[in-house]
Structure 1
Amino acid sequence: MMHTSIYLSHSLALLVCIVFPLYLAIRGSASLSDIALVLSSLSERAEALHFKLTPSLAASPAPISKSLPDGLAHCINSFEQYPVLAEQVLQRKHVRYSKQTPAQKAISSQLGYPAHFEKARKGIEVNARFSEKIAQIARRDYHTGPRTPEDKEVADFGVVDLAFAHLSRDWSTQGAKERQAVFPPVLSGLEQHFGGSARGNKVLVPGSGMGRLASDIADLGYEVTANELDYGSILAYHLLTNHTSSLHQHTLQPFVTKWTHQANPSSRYSALTVPDHWPNKAVKLVEGDFLEMFSRDGEFDAVVTLFFIDMSTNVIDFLSNIHRLLKPGGCGSTLGVPLKWSTNSALQLSAEEVLQLADLLGFDVDHTSRKNIDSLYAEQPETLLKFTYVTQFWSATKR
């Protein structure tokens, strides 16, 4: 391994000069639109090739960790295997299509249905370039070493599909309408509590997801710490924050495998670009379990949660920890939740019961702040299915 690393370090320039032109020559057999995409992102492809050639050299000299955080390897593998996983989704659709009678297939052809398979595959190619870059950066940043054959056994299409949905909501212009429904009450709640004075006030955003809310809070001048457990979100956030050089740099077609509830077939191939706004690099991201990562009591002036507390296995734990982390008189939480309790939740409380619990745990709830806010989530364009949460919003302070 040491001799290999020394060899790579001495021959990196030669390898890049030789292999990269060969890579472009090979890609020359692709479609013209694919070549245009490659040329338009030349520097991005060169960086990706560099990661692929030197996975260990791109990282610091620290040894490869044999013990990775829970879920990290699974997420990296899922991003790497996205093209295979997405193709499997298409294959299942094609198997059902192929079972038609010859007469039915002839009618389907008149509708132009077979063309959807090829269009979807082109969209998968677009997505695969993005997901592969996420995986390459993750392997470098977390010192995982190169992919091994065993990695293919642990991958999940849903991990990447959900990450694309979160990216759409948080970092694309398409998600602006959804953000405008739930972000302003949270931001105005903070402004009201602190009298418009953001500087010096420390805000924690647990369950920060792709980080847009935490970033927007930091844009106002607060000292923001974001916390997330899901590596599907964390890895994509790292790409946007640390490996993106221009707005709208990355292109996705997140709906290419979603063919139901369509008013117009073209919406399946809707493209979006991210990020539509620069992530605020002043945000400190703490990776890991909210209940385990913060040891200091009274560390924060405010804790803001959005689509979070109903993810707990026991909501008492989450609210108790929020209370512990707040300074006395701190903004206990501005909460926007649909109370979509998981089947693993010990308590599946109503909104009224959650407020009673907050009072029992030492919060003073501002009942005048309570409101219901209708919120869509990662909506597909022109969909015939509108999935709306009636989110519960309120503010509270620590007694």
Structure 2
Amino acid sequence: MSPIEDEQLRRRKLEEALEVKSLRRIISAYLNYPEAAEEDIKRYERCFRRLPLAHKALLSHLPLKFQKLRWCVSKNSYFIFEMLKAFDPPIDMSVDTDIAEDHAIENAPVQQLSSTEMNPHSCQPGSNITLLHNAKVDELRSGEDGLSGTPNPETLSEEKKIQSLSENVGNFSVASERNGMAQGGDVHSYQSATHCCDGHASPSPDWLDPSLQFHVPLADVDKVRCIIRNIVRDWAAEGQKERDECYRPILQELDRLFPDRSSDSSPPACLVPGAGLGRLALEISCLGFISQGNEFSYYMMICSSFILNYSQTSEEWNIYPWIHSNCNLLSDKDQLRPVSIPDIHPASAGITEGFSMCGGDFVEVYNDPSQVGAWDAVVTCFFLDTAHNIVEYIEIISKILKDGGVWINLGPLLYHFADAYNQEDEMSIELSLEDVKRVAFHHGFEIEKESTIATTYTTNQRSMMQNQYYAAFWTMRKKPPTPTSAPDAAAA
């Protein structure tokens, strides 16, 4: 083997080890959820024990509440573990990751592996918490430090980037009762339409062996807690208010713009970048579109795949999404209330053939020649401000739309990497709404409809605090290129 081939082999092994290590970290974050929750409850109990006797007497109900919290945690943990057992990793989880450890040690002074996820839209409005619906291409290369409020530099140079797992992950699709099989997309499919959750405990896969897991920082477990609250937004009756505020205007606009889709031999194709847990993409499919959701966060993809592919009935599960915050509560009963999910059975919802979810970074996946002019519509909902470079997002949206195609957007501009202080290599282009529209006009868009919509994001509807966004909502159409006039052509 030549030195060049030897180096290429070493690089491939390093990339594989980093991917496995990072996916193990995400799995470990889910598995660490009950332990982290127990630490919170123990802290509550320690604080209670420090109270004077007279104060304890006034609050004598709290010890029972703490036990109820433990029970709620156990129910959430059961849902999480069943979800993980249904997950089919796209890579071999038994790969030795020592090479990744050695690489991290060698590069520790200047190139620490760490997560770069951030999402100010997530579960605690107004604070910089972890990313839930999009970040950057190296999520599955995050190291052991986690989030401490700001992202760290990438481990590898730009020239030697590890390939995004979008190349390995491909699509997963909902299993349609209409035809008894999963409708995949046009890249690799890793999902199985076989239902595993039949009320009986299925055996744990080998890759869930405790020896393959490791302790993760609390910031990673916070991502799991946020996923639980995002489930409410997308897949619970309680989230209907937010879905009506955010998804309904988009669905109504698609219905208006494509009135004859049911009669077409080939339905119009709609892409939903930053699809999160998949509800909006599914609703678009149910309207009669070929719908593809694109999602980068593996935290999201693991959960959405479970709900879309393995739910057997509506309201199959009870989760307790509000138990991790004692702030702004009207009552303990509100905090401890269950939420039934999913509110609909996805496979019975009436999806259009071709519905799929594609895993991977939006820029990496769709900035490809095969995607040019491939879509009749692109829908972005709380997505644009996940960009490092929003101009690049808009440029790609323009490229992948057909001439005359439409771009429907709803969301704020709370740029996810705006607070990445002291990180010279962490790009964040933060434009005003006026500049965003100017860039869109430059790339051939014209506005057909525009308004502002007031909405919340993963908010507890019974909380004393309700953070509200005044989100920009627009429909833009990609103008066909202006034909060159005859005199101009002759002159040329």
Instruction: Calculate the TM-score normalised by the size of structure 2.
Output: 0.64
The Cα shift of 1:352 comes to 1.8
- Of the three residues 259, 269, 272, the one matched with 2:336 is 269
Q: How far apart, CA to CA, are the structure 1 residues paired with 2:287 and 2:235?
A: 18
Q: How far apart, CA to CA, are the structure 1 residues paired with 2:457 and 2:71?
A: 26
Q: How far apart, CA to CA, are the structure 1 residues paired with 2:291 and 2:22?
A: 25
The Cα shift of 1:208 comes to 0.2
Contact 1:171–1:276 (CA under 8 A) maintained in structure 2 = yes
State the Cα deviation string for residues 43-101 of structure 1 (Å, max 9, x = none).
xxxxxxxxxxxxxxxxxxxxxx7563795333211222211111122223223333323
Is 1:377 the counterpart of 2:426? The answer is no
Q: Which residue of 2 aligns with 1:23?
A: none
Q: Within 5 A, what are the aligned runs for 1:21-170?
A: 68=19, 72-109=23-60, 112-138=61-87, 143-144=92-93, 145-149=207-211, 151-154=213-216, 156-170=220-234
Q: Which residue of 1 aligns with 2:382?
A: 307
Find the residue that maps to 1:153 and give its secondary structure: coil
Contact 1:314–1:346 (CA under 8 A) maintained in structure 2 = yes
- The number of residues matched between the two structures is 330
State the Cα deviation string for residues 26-53 of structure 1 (Å, max 9, x = none).
xxxxxxxxxxxxxxxxxxxxxxxxxxxx
State the Cα deviation string for residues 299-335 of structure 1 (Å, max 9, x = none).
111111100001111101111111111111111x111
Q: How far apart, CA to CA, are the structure 2 residues paired with 1:349 and 1:140?
A: 37
Contact 1:71–1:230 (CA under 8 A) maintained in structure 2 = no
Find the residue that maps to 1:246 and give its secondary structure: coil
Find the residue that maps to 1:291 and give its secondary structure: helix
Q: Which residue of 2 aligns with 1:292?
A: 364
The Cα shift of 1:349 comes to 1.8
Contact 2:24–2:212 (CA under 8 A) maintained in structure 1 = no
Q: Identify unmatched segments of 5+ residues in structure 1.
A: 1-64
- Of the three residues 302, 306, 311, the one matched with 1:235 is 302
Find the residue that maps to 2:402 and give its secondary structure: strand
The Cα shift of 1:119 comes to 0.8
- Aligned identity (percent) is 26
The Cα shift of 1:142 comes to 5.2
After superposition, the Cα gap between the structure-2 partners of 1:142 and 1:253, relative to the gap in structure 1 and judged at 3 Å, is farther
State the Cα deviation string for residues 174-233 of structure 1 (Å, max 9, x = none).
001110111122112222332342552111000000000000000011001110001111
Q: Identify unmatched segments of 5+ residues in structure 2.
A: 1-15, 94-206, 421-426, 480-492
- Of the three residues 413, 432, 435, the one matched with 1:339 is 413
Contact 1:181–1:374 (CA under 8 A) maintained in structure 2 = yes
Whose relative contact order is higher, 1 or 2, with alpha carbons under 8 Å and at least 6 apart?
2
Q: Which residue of 1 aligns with 2:142?
A: none
Q: Which residue of 2 aligns with 1:5?
A: none
- Using the TM superposition, name which of 283-292 and 196-205 deviates more: 196-205
The Cα shift of 1:103 comes to 3.2
Contact 1:247–1:274 (CA under 8 A) maintained in structure 2 = yes
- Of the three residues 408, 428, 437, the one matched with 1:355 is 437
- Using the TM superposition, name which of 115-124 and 181-190 deviates more: 181-190
Q: How far apart, CA to CA, are the structure 1 residues paired with 2:439 and 2:44?
A: 47
- Of the three residues 252, 259, 281, the one matched with 1:214 is 281
Q: Which residue of 1 aligns with 2:163?
A: none
Larger helix proportion of the pair: 1
Contact 2:255–2:287 (CA under 8 A) maintained in structure 1 = no
Contact 1:77–1:135 (CA under 8 A) maintained in structure 2 = no
Find the residue that maps to 1:305 and give its secondary structure: strand
Find the residue that maps to 2:364 and give its secondary structure: coil
Contact 2:447–2:474 (CA under 8 A) maintained in structure 1 = yes
After superposition, the Cα gap between the structure-2 partners of 1:185 and 1:381, relative to the gap in structure 1 and judged at 3 Å, is closer
Q: Which residue of 1 aligns with 2:157?
A: none
Q: Which residue of 1 aligns with 2:250?
A: 186
Q: Which residue of 2 aligns with 1:248?
A: 315
The Cα shift of 1:385 comes to 0.6
Q: Which residue of 2 aligns with 1:31?
A: none
Q: CA RMSD in A?
A: 2.0
Opposite residue 387 of structure 1, the aligned amino acid is N
Opposite residue 70 of structure 2, the aligned amino acid is R
4+ residue runs over 6 A deviation = none
Q: How far apart, CA to CA, are the structure 2 residues paired with 1:207 and 1:85?
A: 28
Opposite residue 90 of structure 1, the aligned amino acid is I
Q: Which residue of 2 aligns with 1:172?
A: 236
Contact 2:315–2:343 (CA under 8 A) maintained in structure 1 = yes
Q: How far apart, CA to CA, are the structure 1 residues paired with 2:391 and 2:283?
A: 28
